[in-house]
Structure 1
């Protein structure tokens, strides 16, 4: 299935950065990673850095799936409020999930600095009430985060207008967020892995997974066999094809990016991403070259032809909403696109083995709006599971957690 529509900015900006070879013979490795997006890249990098012989298999070109369509807002803030997570899983678990996401952002910063040139920059995050009736829930969320030590500030309507130039009943300003070019970062991680001797294969489709007593046997569409001690399935929402029962709902999200805007005109948007309490929510963030990326208008369409047909209309709506908030900005759309993603009921990811496949097959389902942040967490979590070590998030992010 085609995972995206239109012209995703990262693919347009970067082009096909490097072509890796397809698998043309049988292969053996310690860990086989199925999926050549940013999730697979972060996990493969973590495993290889700690001594595993890793091989990556991507059915398209590397990075050409959902990673190319990602808008890459790096936040500790989960789409599900901490207050609501606490009701589902208990306050301790809710705080554990939020803190793990907060710790993942500086980890991603260090990784980006290591591979270099991926448009990473730290930012703040302004989460504003779309309607007056949202203020009460937003204030409860602020109080819980503040009580647990998160660096947040409460802004009343006048402060939102004074600092950011638009009208909203109230907002939470979080100090910890960031941006990145996810397509470029995935490519640069894979290129580094390849240079260091790891195997990276694109245009290689895995057809079957067979768990055995001492290893896992993978078979490709071309009939080649891959024998691995462990397998990590990091194929985005397509990972669900390996499970008899679906664990998440497919969603499509839409986005546009503008021509470059003078940074003086962008003002606080240069260093602050903006999103709202409405669901689906409007969100905005800038790029290193001064463009404004606007996203949202999510729906449950996952049929490529239907999604394709909606891109232009959805982009117009996004542009109208952004212009209503910031009428002074010269918003000239350059490219628009859509991507299909998966979403769990509680907004948390799934990492680890599934009973259907046994302990040697690990799923890395970094689903929801925090996909890249979750992937950074999941890299360490999956490594711990493979090494048979305990991890504080193993239970909460497992298939056995129950979603309330």
Structure 2
């Protein structure tokens, strides 16, 4: 992707947008370009990157809030937080392995795509940590919404609307977000040998325990050996993460292991192996295989995930594993994405949404990458977009407003 504009200021971005709007030219907006394979492949007239708009504007460890320019590398944010034993609670995924892209993930890109990892089940999505934004709309106006402290909820709905809009409403130039203390210790309880339905029941049981599980995933036998160097015990692995003070983690892990031993063989992973495992779950390591085999990110009710996979396996070749207590299903298809089939079964199981994360250009051109919205919601989305981007210049091919 050839970058035509790399403004180093908000005013520079606004100037570019005003020129594009005057010419009725379309504009693809990227941060580090790490998710360039997402969405339907529609060629924009120009490409704008925010990668030169960098720097941490303010950071107050005591108040646990950060303001940063949108192009600031995610690695810089995380390194700064680590110095104060703090973290981004929502564990944003690194999409580079799945897309086989290079570049540097940016904090603006994380919030624009609402990128959320395993801890979402207790900490919420990226948008839930976002307190305020500055952005440039489709008319080239710079707008501020929200504030720097949690109790200031002015413009909160607008802030949440920008998070997950994939750059279709405006170009984020600055984000303000809350952070949390980094747990000093962690362990993972592993229950081995369960099938998908049994694992769903065990994860529900674990989440109901008073042990504060911060991650719940099921790694089917087909993918289990691809995690932490194949060091997980034999059989499918249902993995449950606990975090906190060392003594507390040890006691809670022992309690959880005892409660679950009736379901299957139980083992425990130490903090080092826990960190590796959950980063690999977060980044979908089994399917970061350098191919274009279709990959779906499916969000459904936790009790419905395994039912969806079972139904699909009767009809087509599919591999899968589960995060978010079974509510996030990563589906890799062998050949055809089978979009109609996937979305029909999701609807039959009570609803949800499926995003075609990866496929070759032919499939991406023919299949809506984002879940088609019901007519009333689609109409509302179009009205919102008309207010923010009346000329429809931003990010053709990424039509979803809320993710």
TM superposition score normalised by structure 1: 0.23
Identify which of structures 1 and 2 has the higher relative contact order when contacts are C-alpha pairs closer than 8 Å and 6+ apart: 1
